[in-house]
Amino acid sequence: MSTPTYTPDASDHDADIKRIIDAHLQLEGPLLPMLHAVQAEFGLIPEAAQRLIADALNITRAELHGVISFYHDFREKPAGRHVLKICRAEACQSVGGAALADHVLEKLGLNWHGTTANGAVTVEPVYCLGLCACAPAAMVDGRVVGRVDATRMDALLAEAGA
């Protein structure tokens, strides 16, 4: 699966963003569908899109930033080639999920939402993957993996090029 890319210097992005906005303006509550569509197109919510969306919906940039920062799936910076989500819910935490998360973050030298220096992996928290009976769970590029321990995680990270 290829990751969409956004290049800040591309001159045609405003037209693409306006097309997305126009396609969603007639919806009731168009903000979230707009944001999802922009991120699907570019892999992030670029600054140019934030300005255009705020203007189109007559909301402040602060209000828009509040929405983008509240929902963990939206990003303002590009993700790595692979996105690793580690479950932080109680079922996973009760069987070693917190230690697993600490292991990954320490091994990669990252904080949550960080990306490895080589751009291979972005690590994000997620609050339930629905795999509670097979905890701790993680998701790599949309593929859910259960019963993850440090050894299995290290293999997943190596596979992703971290």
Contact predicate 49/61, CB 8 Å:
no
What does the pLDDT read at residue 103? 97
Closest to 148 measured CA to CA, from 85, 90, 106: 85
Say if strands 121-126 and 138-140 run parallel, antiparallel, or are unpaired: unpaired
What does the pLDDT read at residue 106? 97
What does the pLDDT read at residue 79? 92
Domains and CATH numbers, the chain: 13-70 (no CATH), 82-160 (3.40.30.10)
What does the pLDDT read at residue 1? 41
The H or E element that residue 51 is part of is: helix 47-57
Whole-model pTM: value is 0.78
What does the pLDDT read at residue 73? 84
145 forms bridges with which residues in the sheet? Answer: 138
Sequential pLDDT tens for the chain (162 residues): 445 555 555 557 899 999 999 999 999 999 999 999 999 999 999 999 999 999 999 999 999 999 999 988 899 889 999 999 999 999 999 999 999 999 999 999 999 999 999 999 999 999 999 999 999 999 999 999 999 999 999 999 999 988
